[in-house]
Amino acid sequence: MTLFSHRQYISITVNIHQDNENAMPHTSIPADTLPPISVHAVPDRSVLARDVFGIASDMVVPAFSVQTDHVPDIDPTYLFDYETTLAILAGFIHNRRVMVQGLHGTGKSSHIEQIAARLNWPCVRINLDSHISRIDLIGKDAIVLQDGRQITEFQEGLLPWCLQRPCALVFDEYDAGRPDVMFVIQRILEVEGRLTLLDQNRIVTPHPWFRLFATANTIGLGDTTGLYHGTQQINQGQLDRWNIVTSLNYLPAQQEMRIVCSRLGIPQEDTQSQEKIRDMVALANLTRSGFMAGDISTVMSPRSVISWAENDKIFNDVAFAFRVTFLNKCDDSERPLIAEYYQRCFNANPFPEQASTTTL
């Protein structure tokens, strides 16, 4: 499979206000003159998804041979979800705009990062919190020193900076972005979408190997569960521009157990630790069922299970680790029911003052 055959260029159209409104000079800037986010302007090798990600797929994926500072670190214990991996790989291969939606703690952002890490693909993450503004993304005029004099110079924001380079841009918490900021993003959601910099009278064409991803807890309808305060409803015209929307929610118990054991380096021969992790995952599933039934308002995510197991290694006390990891985050009125979940799974009481008086 041939991934490139000639030098790639980024075409930047410059619009200068002149007496003749039709006069629009064009300049072409070679990609290798830009700051070195990547050693190569285009992917210079290809890999098989089956070999690199351990999934049953014959996808051939473009990749870079050299790791740079913008490439995430590889987590060798990471396990890839089949459907989510296929969706993200389609984004890298075919330049599709991919959104990963799911409940908290399921590894949405890390899934994209770990795929980029194994492809040596530079990756930039932007958290769309309420303080991210239009000028943060587009850029602004700043005072700089040049030849000993102070001058005003336009400094590009991360959006045009990434757009002109072979990198993967990830918008985290996409459903928490402010509406005025979201409309800035809307134009680049189209594959050939050019970004107009009004302050510079300039139109930026995306780099051929620029890729765009997003993660969100909701699916554009706002917070319907009470778990995600601060999320916004997403304009349906914008949501329609995402080519692929995949869901990454809580996994089957056996798969979640494998992920936790892999993260903690627990071998299969250690049956005692394996059994403890199985009980932890079973308790997490009880909290999820209780949340769905309306019995409790806090749910234990896979991230919480991993934190619980890590804290258990620190304190060597599974009950204390459970309290400081999850139970203390819950409402006082719900703690007896959650303690009952714990007792079902571990045949013990998580409260130390009641453990000595509880008959099991």
* Mean pLDDT value of segment 82-98: 95
For residues 103-109, give the mean pLDDT: 84
The predicted structure's pLDDT at residue 2: 40
- Give pLDDT, residue 223: 62
Residue 228 exposure: Cα atoms within 13 Å on the Cβ side: 24
> What are the pLDDT digits (tens) for 166-187?
999 999 988 888 887 888 888 7
Is residue 224 very low, low, confident or very high in pLDDT (cuts 50, 70, 90)? low
Percentage of residues of the chain with pLDDT beyond 90: 48
Choice between 294 and 119, residue whose per-residue pLDDT is larger: 119
Of 74, 72, 14, 68, which is closest to residue 41 (Cα–Cα)?
Answer: 68
Mean pLDDT of 288-304: 88
pLDDT of residue 47: 95
- pLDDT surpasses 70 at 329: yes
Whether pLDDT at 24 is above 50: no
On the question of pLDDT at 303 being above 60, the answer is yes
pLDDT of the residue at 317: 95
pLDDT band at 360 (very low <50, low <70, confident <90, very high): very low
Identify the pLDDT of residue 357: 44
- pLDDT surpasses 90 at 96: yes
Please, which pLDDT band fits residue 89 given cuts at 50, 70 and 90?
A: very high
Q: Is the pLDDT of residue 25 over 60?
A: no
Domain boundaries, the chain: 9-247, 253-355
Does 99 score more than 80 pLDDT? yes
Task: Tell which residue, 218, 213, 234, has the closest CA to residue 98.
Answer: 213
- Span 9-247: which CATH code? 3.40.50.300
Q: What pLDDT, on a 0 to 100 scale, did the predictor assign at position 227?
A: 64
Average pLDDT value for residue range 127-144: 82
More confident residue, 136 or 167: 167
pLDDT digits (tens, 9 = 90+) for 31-65: 444 445 767 788 999 999 999 999 999 999 999 99
Cα 65-68-72 angle, rounded to 5 deg = 100
Task: Flag whether pLDDT at 3 surpasses 80.
Answer: no
**At 13, is the pLDDT very low, low, confident or very high (cuts 50, 70, 90)?**
very low
Query: SS3 for 1?
Result: coil
Q: In which band, very low, low, confident or very high, does the pLDDT at 226 lie, cut at 50, 70 and 90?
A: low
pLDDT at 269: 93
Tokens representing 163?
A: 């757009």
Helix, strand, coil percent values for the chain (each to nearest 5): 40, 20, 40
Q: Residue 124 — very low, low, confident or very high, per pLDDT cuts 50/70/90?
A: very high
Closest CA to 287 of 277, 278, 298, 276: 298
Instruction: Report phi then psi at 300, rounded to 5.
Output: -90, 120
Contact 260, 281 (CB under 8 A): yes
282: nearest Cα among 262, 300, 264, 303: 300
Residue 270 has pLDDT above 70, yes or no: yes
- 340 pLDDT band (50/70/90 cuts)? very high
- On the question of pLDDT at 199 being above 80, the answer is no
